[in-house]
Chains A and B, each alone.
Chain A
Amino acid sequence: MQLEENIPHHDNPRLIHINDPKKTNDKFGFSGNEIRTSKYTLLNFLPKNLFIQFHRVAYLYFLAIAALNQLPPLAVFGRTVSLFPLLFVLTVTAVKDGYEDWRRHRSDRNENNRETLVFQLNEFHPKRWKKIQAGEVVKISSDETIPCDMVLLGTNDSSGIAYIQTMNLDGESNLKTRYARQETNKLVLEGTTISGVVRCEQPNRNIYEFMANMELKGQRFPLSQSNIILRGCQLKNTEWAIGVVVYAGQDTKAMLNSAMSSSKRSRLETYMNRETIWLSVFLLIMCVVVALGMGLWLKRHETQLDTLPYYRKIYFQKGKEGKKYKYYGIPMETFFSLLSSIIVFQIMIPISLYITMELVRLGQSYFMIGDQHMYDSSSNSRFQCRSLNINEDLGQIRYVFSDKTGTLTENKMEFRKASIWGKNYDNSYPDADASLEAKDVTVDRRKWKLKSEITPDPELMKLLYKDLSGEEGVAAHEFFLTLASCNTVIPILTESSSSGCDGVLGGSPVSIDYQGESPDEQALVAAASAYGYTLFERTSGHIVIDVNGEKIRLEVLGLHEFDSVRKRMSVVIRFPNHTIKVLVKGADTSMFSILDNDRPAEDHIRHVTQVHLNDYSSEGLRTLVLASRNLTGEELAEWQHRYEDACTSLTDRSVKLRQTAALIECNLTLLGATAIEDKLQEGVPEAIESLRQAGIKVWILTGDKQETAISIGLSCRLLTADMNQIIINGNSENECRKLLCDAMAKYNVNSTSCSSQITKLRRKAEPDYLELPSQTKSSSMPQQCAGEEDTPNFGPLALIIDGNSLVYILERDLESELFDLATSCRVVLCCRVAPLQKAGIVDLIKGRTDEMTLAIGDGANDVSMIQMADVGVGICGQEGRQAVMASDFAMGQFRFLKRLLLVHGHWNYQRIGYLVLYNFYRNAVFVLMLFWYILCTAFSTTSALTDWSSVFYSVIYTSVPTIVVGVLDKNLSDKTLLKYPKLYAAGHRQESYNMSLFWITMVDTLWQSLVLFYVPLFNYRESTIDIWSMGSLWTIAVVILVNVHLAMDIQRWVFVTHLAIWGSIIVTYGCMVVLDSIPAFPNYGTIYHLVKSPAYWLSILLITVIGLLPRFIFKVFHQTFWPSDIQIAREGEILRRRRRRRHIGSKTDEVSS
């Protein structure tokens, strides 16, 4: 009856009839196992691809312009010509999409045609994956990939264990255990056909949860996450496994999770859009000028229009006389003139820039990925660019939010110290001593090899061997039993057959590899093994622990897994002597509150342990507290009842389990504490120092304790001894407010909201500020920098704030105070923060400043922060791939961040900034040149350039050099950038792209366009020059001008750059020769005629020199008399290189003489 309630009411459960796919799919028709990641089929490719492509505004603009041009009164360009740019872009994109989709099709086909054994007609027959349906029973052999999401029915192991590797799903390489229910496993091993019903949730994308129950012969039992194996995983260390398909094909969790994350837009691009609006205004002004001019001209010549040879608005033919030819009255003509000038000036809005930028970023990513200095050889992982839109944001980062564990540290845990029954064992004896003392022990231990060796503390070893009877000895015994049992680690025995223990006794060496989801647990189990408590076997029902050669089988009655609310884990165990114990381990804050407070004798131990814990965490070690308790029969019965109920529940299972856990996790006896070292990654202090010099503020957001966070901060040189530490850890809103205001008052931080309180509090706040933090804390805090705080001249400030206070601050209206204080501090450490709070802090900064933020982390708890920040960086570490999946960039080590920001960020920012300005200029100078000419053609939107040349200008004539320069140009070498991290501030100051640069560029553009127009005009006034010769001259002049302009700004010439720049000019000539060789074009033969005339060449030279002279002079004077930092550093770099070369030269001279 109870089970009925557990089936969710709001959502129909999915009914799976085991071994009866027909009945299963009869009613609902669940999707088959065929997958389709491809977007298109051969039939729908064209419409669908076009539909998707036209979602971009840029393409719609192209389309609208092309459509306008099709109207007869507006046909400025030839009809085919006007469609060319749009068709070109569409084709390129379609080919790219098509190729990618073809590859997806191919991989889909390979996936779908794989075969696996499926139970059909009372036997297992191979069947293609795509034919598998929900409800079928599938058999998987070792090392095979699982074709769909299945509930395990049985394995070759009598306890129903299957090991799977979830590499493809979440990137974690360690093995995970999954269990078949004993009820079904028995049946499978007996060989009977199972028929039953599985009720499970509707398909969802949560790969860490699964809720279902199974009805088998009238009996119901629960199914959970541990009973399901997911598509994409591999079966390991298990001969075979049999399962029933519950989710197939598109319903599998792997497929539901494959959707990509949303895209971000770079800051420079948003600025660029702002300037694009300016360009639209210019465009509109030009069009209005042309239209008004047209209107006035028509008005003035109204009476002549019939006869003007070059206008002629009427047909003069018999019968038809008086019929108007393409003339719709002055207002309409004016309006048409407006529209047709939009067509002529269309490239003023640099639509091609968006495509150019995409290509450039692609090229930049190629070089970032290929950078050997960002290649992590230890994990064999290269740098990854997962997002292609925000390369240049890397050059403007102001805030870096970093996770600690796995990001700053290696996340390779090592057991360092233990405090047992109030005594500290920290292995402080010299090694020689240890080996002597522990001689008798090592004989035993040699029977198996552990992957990580730990030198055990000799004193503790002695205690374990000699003194098991005393209180201390019992505690030590239980301490290590807890370490070995209270976890989810799986021991993997290699070189041994089914039952490992015979092999061990026989003397053959066996190596044990511990596989687990948490590196902390692996370290603890390894430590227990080093002290003689070796975890040997783990099934769902029992564990086997080898205690100094003696094998103990413990029955596991229940296990409450670790969750972030309880912050502890417990296991209920029945010993061989039928005593039942609860073994608990957890974070200190969550443990001390549930200890048994009634026994005053243990108060001392508790106090000493607390002191030890503080010592450990101040050394930067991660601590866990262990405790245990005996269970009476009644307690056990009640707990068992509730536990089973909670376990089979389909809804709110986690809440119910938590309540159940609370039943037994109370009145515990403290056993001791462990300290695990989490080593700093290589190069972290140096990287942080460089980032800070570059003007980047590094904030650490960690789930660790305050003391641990501070000690890590010190060890990675984020905190220095001369800093004033402000510690905020209040337990209420008022307390937090008071702490914040006090700190601000003390360090003269200006804040509007706080000023009233500051005056009130100042008098009393200053003398007793030091006491305030310690009053509000439950545990005492080491005041490392107490001395400095008294100095009247404040040094740099460091803010340390804990998660509790953040709850009050972020949820109430204290955000602005925190912001004011935090931004005036050089360092901010946030400890004990929950994942969502991390995102909240990032949001706080993002919402209140314009500065760019970057979040870096490695674990699932950093995902929200990574997604919230402007730039998210994932570390491919030990904690899976979720952070990487959510990130924009991913890399192997924290220290690469320095190179990523200081070198690649700087380069990308400079390149894209210049690229955008140059593209604005390039298109505007062309359009302005056309505009000046139109003023000389009675406002009739004639273009002297041939249609094809106008279209090719931005597509072929000038596009390649911008891309090459955007990808390859470097203003400074990586060595210089790393040597002077402060050069990064150029990005903060927005030196490469800002409003004034835009306006300077536009003025320069205006000048160059005037030169382009007027030099030929003056040179050819009152001459026989025809319109196509003039157009030809303008075409080549503008192409040469913009390319030489680019050449003038290039900072680093490699052969590719030469090829692109000079090649473009040659290609332009080539195109013009081809276009002028087709007799059907009116411009036939123009170029052949022109190149013979010296005036043509002298005009081009004059245009180039006069056009670029102001820019060159400005540049020269600026660089010589007001040099930027980048300029000086660049000169220094070249000077050094020259000296070095001279040095080498003189050396070789000496040698030769």
Chain B
Amino acid sequence: MEMDGRSSSSAVIEADSVSLQQSRRSKFIHQFTQQSLPACKPVLSPPFVISVFFVVGLIFIPIGIVALHASRSVVEIVYRYDGECVPEPYRSNKLAYIKDDSISKNCSKSLKIPKHMKAPIYIYYQLDNYYQNHRRYVKSRNDKQLLHGLKYHDASSCHPEDANHGHPIVPCGLIAWSLFNDTYSFSRGVVDLKVNRKNIAWKSDREHKFGKQVYPVNFQNGTLIGGANLDPNIPLSDQEDLIVWMRTSALPTFRKLYGRIEEDLDADDVISVNLFNNYNTYSFSGSKKLVLSTSTWLGGHNDFLGIAYISIGTSLIFIAFVFLLLHVNNPRPYGDTSNLSWNWKPISS
């Protein structure tokens, strides 16, 4: 009997809690349907606004300073060579020079290192006025072919570089066809600087996007040679220059990674650059630059973020002060319903 009694009482408690839960739930539903759910109603009261301005300003300025510092600590050497590397007699007709295969495209230049450069030093080439983002260009590729090779037949998106002599081209399309083909080598004094050309493309691209069993076929066999040729014995996944090139750039002025120098360069070191000026940018008067740059957590040399953060931060604090002054001079009683317009305007009938 006692057992029974206890169990029944516990059952009652259980039922109570269940009903409590139910009532809580029904209360919630009721509040929901009556649009009276507990809610947060933010108001832009002056103290809140002023503190928001201050806090955001005070967060932004340090970020800006750190970013600016990072950007300034980058050492960058930019060398434009598209003009200089054309021999004197051809300066007036650069196009003839670049199109003539018999002329040596070799070109050398000494660069002085202004500051100590810590390894790794990134080597980029920079092209100007080159619309890699043109719609005709961006679309002229076939990602399935890049992954599966000739197993994938439909290459209609690659026009007009889809096939040659009736055979399909791998990799097809304008992008691959126009692959950049200038080459650079560096030496300090008489010692060659080793340039690491591995791992310059994204890992994800190398491993999953470009096929490991796909080899270049029928590439650059047409009448018009657009750019570099590819070694038909190396699979696409290892053709890192191609992979880098195929990540078409967003803007008409862009850099692409060429390689890395994995030793420090000291200030006032003189390095000589030996380059082959093969790529034709003269037909559309685009410029070519060689860039040597160190890197920080923020990337390369760009003051924009730092300056933007600092100026926004300071202007926020300035606005906070202005607002504070205005508020102190013209205080408005907060939430005073006697300020409602009909309380001070004569009621119009």
Contact = CB atoms under 8 A, between A and B. Distances in A.
B305 A1132 contact: no
Contacts of B39: 1052-1054
Interface string B64-83: 00010000000000000000
Interface in B10-41: 33-35, 37-41
Contact of A1053 (B42, B49, B332, B340): B42
Contacts of B45: 1131
Contact of A1023 (B205, B300, B335, B341): B300
B338 to A, nearest CB: 9
Contacts of A1031: 250
A355 interface: no
A1015 B302 CA distance: 12
Interface string B264-278: 000000000000000
B136 A1115 contact: no
A1115 B177 contact: no
Contacts of B341: 1125
A317 interface: yes
B102 interface: no
Interface string A933-952: 00011101110100000000
A371 B49 contact: no
A782 interface: no
Interface stretch (B105-113, B127-135, B228-236): B127-135
B283 A304 contact: yes
Contacts of A326: 136, 159
B330 A1121 contact: yes
A1102 B312 contact: yes
A1022 interface: yes
B30 to A, nearest CB: 8
Interface in B121-163: 124, 126, 130-138, 141, 143-144, 147, 159-161
A1102 B305 contact: yes
Interface stretch (B1-9, B86-94, B186-194, B218-226): B218-226
Contacts of A1017: 251
Contacts of A1105: 56, 60, 312
A1085 interface: yes
Interface in A1084-1109: 1084-1085, 1088-1089, 1093-1095, 1098-1099, 1102, 1105-1106, 1109
A1026 B131 contact: no
Contacts of A1054: 37-39
A1098 to B, nearest CB: 6
Contacts of A259: none
Contacts of A307: 224, 283
B130 A1120 contact: no
B35 A968 contact: yes
B56 A826 contact: no
B84 to A, nearest CB: 20
B52 to A, nearest CB: 9
B223 A321 contact: yes
B223 A317 contact: yes
B118 interface: no
B206 to A, nearest CB: 10
B345 to A, nearest CB: 10
Given A310-B174, A316-B224, A1015-B308, A1085 B202 contact: yes
Interface string B310-325: 0010001001000100
B41 A1051 contact: yes
A1023 B299 contact: yes
Contacts of B323: 1116-1117, 1120
B35 A1134 contact: no
B205 A1106 contact: no
A416 B298 CA distance: 91
Contacts of A1025: 249-251, 254
A1027 B249 contact: yes
Contact of A937 (B34, B131, B144): B131
A39 B330 CA distance: 66
A311 B337 contact: no
A1098 B337 contact: no
A304 B284 contact: yes
A432 interface: no
Contact of B302 (A1021, A1027, A1117, A1128): A1021
A315 interface: yes
Contacts of A1115: 44
Contacts of B308: 1015, 1018, 1102, 1106
Contacts of A1125: 340-342
B349 A1026 contact: no
Bin the interface of chain A by size.
Answer: 35 or more
A942 B251 contact: no
A327 B188 CA distance: 50
Contact of B134 (A937, A1119, A1129): A937
A1134 B39 CA distance: 11
A398 interface: no
Contacts of A1094: 297-298
A318 interface: yes
B68 to A, nearest CB: 12
B136 A940 contact: yes
A301 B326 contact: no
A310 B286 CA distance: 12
Nearest to A323: B160
Interface centre among B135, B208, B257, B323 (most CB of A within 10 A): B135
A493 interface: no
A45 interface: no
A312 interface: yes
B178 A309 contact: yes
B43 A1128 contact: no
Contacts of A316: 160, 222-224
A1029 interface: yes
A1128 B339 contact: yes
A1019 B305 contact: yes
Contacts of A448: none
Given A1023-B300, A1098-B309, A1102-B312, A937 B135 contact: yes
A367 interface: yes
B164 interface: yes
A1091 to B, nearest CB: 13
A1020 B250 contact: yes
Contact of B209 (A315, A1051, A1079, A1089): A1079
A36 B309 CA distance: 68
A788 to B, nearest CB: 15
A1022 B126 contact: yes
Contacts of B312: 1102, 1105-1106, 1109
- CB-CB nearest 5 A-B residue pairs: A1085-B204, A1131-B335, A1030-B250, A309-B178, A1135-B335
Interface of A: 76, 301, 304, 307-312, 314-318, 321, 325-326, 367, 370-372, 796, 826, 936-938, 940-942, 944, 968, 970, 980, 982, 1015, 1017-1031, 1050-1055, 1079-1082, 1084-1085, 1088-1089, 1093-1095, 1098-1099, 1102, 1105-1106, 1109, 1113, 1115-1117, 1119-1121, 1123, 1125, 1128-1136
Given A937-B252, A1025-B251, A1117-B323, 5 more contacts: A309-B178, A1053-B41, A1085-B204, A1093-B299, A1125-B341
17 contacts: A316-B160, A370-B34, A372-B34, A936-B133, A942-B135, A1017-B251, A1021-B251, A1024-B255, A1027-B248, A1054-B38, A1081-B143, A1084-B204, A1102-B309, A1102-B312, A1109-B312, A1125-B342, A1131-B45
